[in-house]
Each structure stands twice: as structure tokens, then as C-alpha cells.
A = this chain, B = another copy of it.
Amino acid sequence: MRSVYRRVELLRVIAHPIRIRILEELTKGVKCVSDLEKFLDISQPNVSQHLAILRQYGVIDYYMDGRLRCYFLKDPIIPDILEILKKDYIEELPAPACCPVTKKGKYPGRR
């Protein structure tokens, strides 16, 4: 069982609007830098910077096709996370049984 805390780093890397868009795009298939550049509508160096970060943490990788760098998803956690982010949660979690009551002795395991 992998430590959750080693994965927090991964979350930080994913938790950026541009990088999430890159990852979503890559779930659809291989993309080269200039395609991502058009899709994201940001500067080429900035695309490369984000790709470098994602690659540095093992989230993505690439292969060469001529002079194109073809990036693809590598970390299998990504599709799972993206799926959860898309999921529609309508209900909040059930509040603890004691919740609405503001009296003593209602905090389980204390007092």
C-alpha cells in the first residue's frame, strides 16, 4: 500500500488549471507540443514548462516521432482521478448523528 503522503506531491502537480487540461487532453490520446499549444492557447515555452513538471513527477512521458515529441499518460492514477472529478455528487456526506445538537457530551470519544 503506497503512502498517501507520497501522493500528495502528485496532487499538487495535478492541481493546476493548465495541467489538468493537458491531462484531460492526453486521456483522449497522444499529443505533440504544438497541438497542445494550439489547444491551450498559451505560449510554447509555457506548454513545455508544464509538460516538464508533469514528466518530472512521472505523470506523463513522451516518444519521438521525427522532430515531434509525442506525449502520453503514464501514471495510471490519472484517469481514475479525472473520472472522480467529473462525477456528479449531489448529496453532502451524512452529518454526524450528533451534529445539530449543541449540547454537552455529543462529541464521540471525548468528555
Interface residues of A (CB under 8 A from B): 1-2, 4-5, 7-8, 11-12, 14-17, 20-21, 24, 29-30, 32, 35, 61, 63-66, 68, 70, 72-82, 84-89, 91-93, 95-96, 98-111
Q: Is the CB of B68 within 8 A of A11?
A: no
In the complex formed, the residue of B with least CB distance to A80 is: B84
| CB neighbours of A85 from chain B (8 A) | 4, 7-8, 11, 77
Residue in B68, B93, B104 whose beta carbon sits within 8 Å of that of A76 in the complex: B93
Q: Is the CB of A30 within 8 A of B76?
A: no
**Pairs across A and B, CB under 8 Å, 14 listed:** A1-B86, A2-B89, A4-B82, A12-B15, A30-B96, A35-B110, A65-B102, A68-B110, A72-B96, A74-B92, A75-B92, A77-B89, A81-B81, A81-B84
